[in-house]
């Protein structure tokens, strides 16, 4: 079942000169998809995730989610959409500083209109953070914060998880665990789009794509474009 | 959302304390200036309205000042011949007049106010000054063993208590309602009794070895008939050859009022300056706070908070801190008001009006309201800018933008 669809998405940045990270991006995402997006640094992979998460408006093209044109949503509608449908795992480990880890999860769940303390405990356990639940973000290590962010991305049962280099700051064990947990989410019907530079984790995805020169193309396990 | 507001405040203790302190100090100054302004202004209005006398006749060569006589309870030992009363009766334009005799307590025994206070012997037959502030039982006069006390001596009702003054025991038969003048800090007794005491008292009698106090009075309070020109009345007194000169109470009040107005204007200007400093420092603080939390605000937008909710969150935080500051500032100011009013009495030779609960609540409430407005005004711009930030730009902090 198709969750969302990008059609001919175009995005420019004007920074003295015009930079075009997304030239003609087309992508259809189905329920249960695990898509890995690869490509050189600074090419626009994060920009693509921001557009899909409605944090950034494309200049051209259509973005539909569940059959609705998201590009035409008002700011408030986009907020509600993000709260209910999208789980973000940003490149930076940003958290609400005044809240403990558990409170961060509860708050995010609440914004999405849900209240499920069992899910909070379950995720804390899954990400090995149960003994850090009452710690503030500044009391956590980089890896712990990364795991906390992964837990936050899943806390409200989103339909689409946008993970920007989710294994950053993580050791081998926890990188594997995070990828495994993301994979498990796809088995429950959630779609995951993951930006990564790591071929090993990209290989876990059901579909590998490369963003280059503003165009997204499918690639095989050796990084060759599909014909 | 309320939880997040509270936790942002309580868990950023240093920053929150700073914000609360800035607001508290601003409100403290505001409530004190407002309170002082109100009490002094009302005191003046009360004095103007209630003073009763339009003019005071005092001994011709006395150096006593009108404001000392009218607005303070400073003991003034001034005397003029009792015949002056008869001469004053001949003056034109007098609707009512009443003589008073001043003496003061010195070393006092128990149940005494503990410092020298003004004692006025008044003539209950001609009196028109005290009557409006006395209960019905005391309006017909008091006898030699009775005493009327001003409203400033005790918070509790003293009626029925005994006071020992210069060896004599007096029973308090009435307390004056607040007048806003020096009468509030004065003991009143029968005129003859006051004169008797000057002879009986070991200390006071030393001043009366050659003279009989019964032949003297201190002042004559005069109420004008309708249409009297005060300046012409002063002229008439000067030309009458009496051993007295005339002070106009209206002039005294006007002079005091102009002094106070200048003082209040200076205080108000200083307060405005402090308000401006507070606004600038709070705007600076809230701007810095918004910058510091730019990423966090981007995150809040990313997880689904609407613009209005982010705006509400920041305004909620700032207004809560400002209101806390307002509450503490008002409370401190109200606690400090009584000693300040006492100092003012000495500084301005004025009995300010009563600093009562209603006025305290009004000033305190105004302080808290000001704090709320201050918090909102200082935060509205940074809050709106933060809420309107492009969430992606906020998260990446301009990494691409």
Is there a single domain that holds both residue B314 and residue B196?
Answer: no
Residue range B29-63, pLDDT digits in tens: 889 888 888 887 777 766 665 566 788 899 988 88
Residue A144 has which token pair?
Answer: 């712990």
d(CA B192, CA B215): 11
* B263 domain-assigned: yes
Res A226: pLDDT: 65
Let me know whether B182 and B263 are in one domain.
Answer: no
The Cα–Cα gap between B123 and B117 comes to 19
- For chain B, what percent of residues have pLDDT higher than 70? 85
Instruction: Measure the CA angle with vertex A14, ends A8 and A16; round to 5°.
Output: 145
- Identity of the residue in A79, A90, A98 whose CB atom sits nearest the CB atom of B11: A98
Tell me whether residue B361 is in a domain.
yes
Mean pLDDT computed over B374-397: 84
What letter would DSSP give residue A224?
Answer: P
Q: Are B105 and B183 found together in one domain? A: yes
Provide the residue range defining the domain that includes B8.
Answer: 2-47+256-397
Contact B392 A55 (CB under 8 A): yes
The interface predicted TM-score of the complex, written ipTM, equals 0.89
pTM higher than 0.80: no
> Domain ends where: B188, B211, B227?
B227
B191: Cβ contacts below 8 Å, ≥ 6 apart: B99, B100, B101, B121, B122, B123, B217
For A111, the closest of B296, B304, B396 (CB atoms) is B304
Q: Are residues B167 and B298 in the same domain?
A: no
Q: Do B306 and A76 touch (CB under 8 A)?
A: yes
Does B233 reside within a domain?
no
**Quick one: B200 and B281 in the same domain?**
no
Tell me, yes or no, whether B74 and B206 share the same domain.
yes
CB contact under 8 A, B303 and A84: no
Q: Which residues of B touch A83 (CB under 8 A)?
A: 303-305
On whether residue B236 sits in a domain, the answer given is: no
CB contact B11 to A (< 8 Å): yes
Position B244 in a domain: no
B400: confidence class by pLDDT, cuts 50, 70, 90 = very low
Q: Are residues B192 and B264 in the same domain?
A: no
Using 50, 70 and 90 to split pLDDT, how confident is the model at B399?
Answer: very low
How would DSSP label each residue in A36-66?
Answer: EEE--TTSSHHHHHHHHTTSS--SEEEEEET
Residues B165 and B64 in one domain: yes
What distance in Å separates the CA atoms of residue B51 and residue B57, rounded to the nearest whole number?
15
CB contact under 8 A, A94 and B395: yes
Same domain, B319 and B189: no
Q: Is residue B241 situated within a structural domain?
A: no
The nearest CA of chain A is from the CA of B387 a distance in Å of 11
Q: How far, in Å, CA of B363 to CA of B372, rounded?
A: 14
pLDDT at B108 (0 to 100): 45
Domain boundary among B227, B246, B280: B227
Q: Are residues B16 and B64 in the same domain?
A: no
Give the C-alpha separation, B352 to B43, whole Å: 4
- Which residue, among B302, B309, B395, B399, would best test binding to A if mutated, counting the most A CBs under 10 Å from its CB? B302
Asked if residue B361 and residue B303 are part of one domain, the reply reads yes
Average pLDDT over residues B116-121: 80
Domain end call among B210, B227, B244:
B227
Give me the mean pLDDT over the B143-153 stretch.
Answer: 84
Partner B contacted by A1 (CB < 8 A)? no
CB B285 within 8 A of CB B19: yes
3-state secondary structure of A175: helix
Residue B82: its pLDDT value, please? 92
Per the domain annotation, does B376 fall within a domain? Answer: yes
Q: Do A75 and B390 touch (CB under 8 A)?
A: no
Residue B240 inside a domain? The answer is no
pLDDT tens sequence across B67-88: 666 655 566 788 999 999 999 9
Q: What is the pLDDT along chain A (227 residues), one digit of tens a residue?
A: 888 999 998 988 887 788 888 888 889 999 999 999 998 888 888 889 999 999 888 889 999 998 889 888 898 999 999 999 999 998 887 888 889 999 999 999 988 888 888 999 999 999 999 999 999 999 999 899 999 999 999 998 899 999 999 888 888 999 999 999 999 999 999 999 999 988 888 888 999 999 888 888 888 777 677 65
Handedness of CA B340, B341, B342, B345 (dihedral sign): positive
Nearest CA-CA distance, residue A221 and chain B, Å: 30
The number of domains in chain B is 2
pLDDT per residue over B321-330, tens digit each? Answer: 999 999 999 9
At B370, list the tokens.
């000001």
B242-292 residue pLDDT tens: 889 998 877 777 777 777 778 778 888 888 888 888 888 888 888 888 888
Q: Are residues B167 and B185 in the same domain?
A: yes
């Amino acid at each position: 079942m198709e969750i969302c669809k990008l059609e001919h998405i175009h995005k420019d940045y004007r920074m003295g000169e015009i930079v075009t990270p997304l030239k003609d991006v087309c992508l259809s995402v189905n329920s249960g998809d695990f898509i890995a997006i690869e490509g050189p640094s600074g090419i626009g992979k994060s920009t693509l995730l921001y557009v899909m998460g409605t944090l950034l408006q494309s200049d051209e093209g259509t973005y539909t989610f569940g059959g609705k044109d998201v590009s035409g949503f008002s700011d408030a509608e986009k907020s509600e959409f993000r709260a209910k449908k999208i789980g973000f795992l940003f490149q930076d480990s940003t958290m609400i500083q005044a809240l403990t880890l558990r409170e961060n999860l509860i708050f995010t769940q609440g914004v999405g209109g849900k209240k499920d303390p069992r899910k909070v405990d379950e995720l804390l356990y899954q990400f090995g953070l149960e003994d850090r639940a009452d710690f503030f973000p500044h009391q956590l290590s980089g890896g712990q914060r990364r795991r906390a962010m992964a837990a936050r991305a899943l806390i409200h049962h989103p339909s689409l998880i946008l993970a920007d280099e989710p294994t950053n700051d993580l050791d081998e064990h926890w990188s594997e665990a995070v990828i495994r947990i993301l994979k498990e989410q796809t088995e429950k019907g959630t779609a995951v789009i993951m930006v990564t530079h790591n071929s090993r984790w990209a290989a876990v995805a059901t579909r590998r794509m490369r963003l280059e020169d503003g165009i997204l193309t499918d690639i095989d396990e050796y990084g060759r474009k599909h014909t | 959302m309320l939880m997040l507001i509270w936790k942002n405040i309580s868990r950023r203790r240093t920053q929150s304390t700073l914000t609360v302190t800035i607001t508290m100090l601003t409100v403290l100054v505001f409530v004190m200036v407002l309170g002082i302004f109100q009490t002094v202004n009302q005191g003046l209005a009360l004095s103007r309205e209630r003073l009763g006398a339009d003019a005071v006749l005092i001994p011709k060569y006395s150096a006593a000042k009108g404001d000392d006589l009218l607005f303070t309870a400073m003991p003034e030992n001034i005397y003029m011949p009792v015949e002056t009363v008869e001469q004053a009766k001949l003056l034109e334009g007098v609707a009512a007049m009443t003589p008073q005799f001043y003496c003061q307590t010195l070393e006092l025994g128990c149940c005494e106010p503990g410092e020298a206070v003004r004692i006025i012997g008044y003539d209950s037959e001609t009196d028109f000054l005290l009557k409006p502030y006395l209960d019905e039982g005391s309006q017909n006069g008091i006898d030699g063993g009775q005493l009327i006390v001003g409203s400033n001596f005790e918070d509790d009702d003293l009626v029925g208590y005994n006071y020992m003054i210069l060896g004599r025991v007096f029973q308090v038969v009435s307390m004056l309602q607040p007048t806003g003048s020096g009468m509030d800090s004065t003991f009143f007794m029968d005129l003859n009794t006051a004169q008797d005491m000057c002879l009986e008292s070991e200390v006071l009698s030393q001043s009366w070895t050659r003279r009989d106090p019964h032949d003297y009075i201190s002042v004559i309070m005069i109420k004008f008939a309708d249409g009297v020109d005060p300046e012409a009345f002063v002229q008439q007194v000067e030309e009458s050859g009496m051993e007295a000169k005339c002070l106009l109470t209206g002039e005294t009040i006007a002079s005091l009022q102009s002094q106070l107005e200048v003082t209040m204007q200076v205080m108000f200007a200083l307060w405005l300056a402090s308000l401006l400093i507070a606004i600038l420092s709070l705007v600076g603080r809230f701007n810095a706070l918004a910058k510091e939390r730019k990423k966090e605000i981007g995150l809040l937008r990313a997880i689904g908070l609407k613009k209005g909710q982010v705006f509400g969150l920041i305004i909620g935080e700032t207004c809560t801190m400002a209101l806390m500051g307002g509450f503490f500032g008002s409370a401190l100011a109200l606690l400090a008001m009584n000693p300040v009013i006492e100092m003012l009495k000495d500084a301005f030779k004025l009995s300010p009006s009563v600093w009562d609960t209603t006025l305290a609540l009004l000033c305190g409430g105004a302080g808290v309201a000001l704090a709320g407005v201050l918090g909102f005004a200082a935060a509205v711009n940074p809050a709106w800018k933060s809420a309107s930030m492009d969430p992606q730009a906020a998260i990446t902090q301009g990494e691409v933008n």
